[in-house]
């Protein structure tokens, strides 16, 4: 939920002053809700800063992040809400340059939920936690009446510890830096939307749900200060992360469409569903901004990892008007603006 602050005018997206689905899609309306409504009331210095994980207080070497998972359906091609709830929070810490350590898990269960489904989800959580090397140390379970939830909602909050000497963030991004993405974009979003619509495609489309730890740890070990910024493109997708980066770093980001990895099956499915993969959630990918001379080394490290990855240098950081510019496969350029339009609710 934690967008980079901008000077955009704050206005709650209207219709009788009620929460709408668009407030949850991770785009502009989410940002307006948070800046106009949440920050003035429960804001702290940490909440006002960019990034999905925060370092609470200079006196600690801790990082902390939280995410609630409301994905529908609970089980989808390539994963389920349990694995997603662990990996999503692992990844927020991993891209902050922190080692994920201790997790809490809060469950809201709907009356009537088959225990078999709960068991499968918990099995996935346990497996994902073991793979990422985190421990669930605190948990809570609430049950609500039939119709007051939709099966299972899970909150995970993760605490991680800082890697020594690592400083990541938009403040370190410089013109000339290379923009790397770890692998194909949009897989998770398309898998969920296809699963929900009950559509199956010739090519199987599965979520890329996977942990970015220990991958980011290996990248930071290998390149140290050469890595300037990392972020996982979840709600709002690659385009949203690039837009937030451009605003926060006060620079221009140019990317080439032809270089952005994407599975043909996912592109085709997205097209049929009327969706743009550049705005769809990934759940196992990262955008990494790195000194351009070290970018090839980052690709090597990613390729040696065991995950849904197929990395590419997709563009670079430039001086110039703040924003994101896409060079299309036909050679034209177009701005890659913020997500606007139909919300995609409950993607994670």
Considering only residues 98 to 117 of the shown chain, the ones binding a second copy according to CB under 8 A are: 101-102, 104-116
Starting at the earlier edge strand, list the strands of the sheet with 323-327. Answer: 227-231, 287-290, 178-181, 312-318, 252-256, 323-327, 333-335
The rounded distance, in Å, linking the Cα atoms of 57 and 64 is: 11
Q: Which two tokens stand for residue 171?
A: 């403040």
Residues 6+ apart with CB under 8 A from 280: 185, 186, 188, 189, 190, 193, 237, 270, 344, 347
Strand 98-110 versus strand 152-162 pairing type: antiparallel
**Least Å distance between CB 1 and a second copy?**
4
Closest to a second copy by CB, 84 vs 290, is 84
Does residue 232 sit in helix, strand or coil?
coil
Judged by CB under 8 A, the chain residues 156 through 215 that form the site for a second copy are 157, 159
**Least Å distance between CB 209 and a second copy?**
17
Phi first, then psi: what are they for 160, rounded to 5°?
Answer: -130, 170
Stretch that binds a second copy, among 59-67, 189-197, 218-226, 280-288 (CB under 8 A): 59-67
Q: Is 240 in the site for a second copy (CB under 8 A)?
A: no
Per the CB < 8 A criterion, the answer to whether 273 and 197 are in contact is yes
Does residue 80 sit in helix, strand or coil?
strand
Closest to a second copy by CB, 138 vs 197, is 138
User: Which of 139, 197, 272, 293 touches a second copy (CB under 8 A)?
Assistant: 139
The rounded distance, in Å, linking the Cα atoms of 115 and 304 is: 39
**Least Å distance between CB 278 and a second copy?**
22
User: Which of 122, 131, 166, 301 touches a second copy (CB under 8 A)?
Assistant: 122
Closest to a second copy by CB, 135 vs 171, is 135
Per the CB < 8 A criterion, the answer to whether 277 and 267 are in contact is yes
Closest to a second copy by CB, 18 vs 306, is 18
Q: How many residues bind a second copy (CB under 8 A)?
A: 79
**Least Å distance between CB 341 and a second copy?**
16
Does residue 102 sit in helix, strand or coil?
strand
Residue 161: strand pairing partners: 62, 99
**Least Å distance between CB 64 and a second copy?**
5
The rounded distance, in Å, linking the Cα atoms of 220 and 228 is: 10
Q: Using CB under 8 A as the criterion, what x/- string covers residues 19-58 for binding a second copy?
A: xxxxxxx----x--xx--xx--xxxx-xx-----xx-xx-
User: Which of 136, 166, 301, 322 touches a second copy (CB under 8 A)?
Assistant: 136
User: Which of 50, 94, 153, 248 touches a second copy (CB under 8 A)?
Assistant: 153
**Least Å distance between CB 130 and a second copy?**
10
**Least Å distance between CB 155 and a second copy?**
4
Residues 6+ apart with CB under 8 A from 289: 173, 177, 178, 179, 180, 227, 228, 229, 230, 245, 317
**Least Å distance between CB 245 and a second copy?**
20
Q: Is 5 in the site for a second copy (CB under 8 A)?
A: no
User: Which of 118, 131, 166, 322 touches a second copy (CB under 8 A)?
Assistant: 118
Angle at which helices 215-223 and 295-303 cross, to 10°: 150
**Least Å distance between CB 132 and a second copy?**
13
């Amino acid at each position: 939920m934690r967008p980079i602050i901008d000077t955009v005018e704050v206005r709650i997206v209207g219709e009788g002053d009620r929460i709408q689905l668009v407030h949850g899609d991770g785009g502009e309306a989410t940002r307006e809700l948070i800046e106009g409504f949440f920050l003035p009331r429960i804001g702290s210095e940490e909440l006002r800063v960019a990034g999905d994980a925060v370092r609470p207080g200079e006196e600690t070497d801790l990082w902390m992040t939280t995410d609630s998972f409301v994905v529908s359906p609970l089980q989808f091609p390539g994963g389920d809400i349990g694995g997603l709830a662990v990996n999503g929070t692992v990844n927020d810490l991993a891209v902050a340059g922190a080692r994920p350590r201790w997790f809490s898990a809060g469950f809201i269960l709907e009356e009537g939920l088959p225990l078999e489904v709960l068991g499968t989800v918990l099995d996935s959580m346990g497996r994902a936690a073991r793979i990422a090397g985190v421990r669930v140390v605190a948990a809570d379970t609430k049950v609500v009446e039939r119709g007051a939830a939709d099966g299972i909602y899970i909150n995970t909050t993760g605490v991680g510890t800082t890697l020594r000497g690592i400083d990541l963030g938009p403040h370190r991004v410089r013109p000339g830096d290379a923009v790397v993405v770890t692998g194909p974009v949009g897989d998770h979003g398309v898998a969920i939307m296809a699963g929900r619509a009950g559509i199956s495609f010739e090519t199987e489309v599965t979520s890329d749900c996977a942990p970015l730890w220990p991958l980011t740890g290996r990248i930071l070990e290998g390149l140290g200060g050469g890595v300037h910024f990392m972020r996982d493109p979840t709600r709002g997708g690659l385009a949203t992360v690039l837009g937030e980066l451009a605003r926060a770093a006060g620079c221009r980001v140019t990317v080439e469409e032809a270089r952005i990895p994407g599975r043909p099956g996912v592109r085709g499915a997205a097209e049929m569903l009327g969706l743009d993969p550049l705005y769809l959630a990934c759940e196992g990918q990262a955008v990494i901004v790195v000194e351009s001379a070290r970018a090839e080394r980052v690709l090597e490290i990613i390729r040696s990892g065991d995950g849904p990855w197929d990395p590419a240098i997709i563009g670079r950081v430039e001086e110039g008007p703040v924003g994101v510019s896409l060079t299309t496969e036909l050679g034209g350029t177009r701005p890659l603006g913020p997500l606007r339009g139909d919300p995609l609710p409950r993607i994670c």
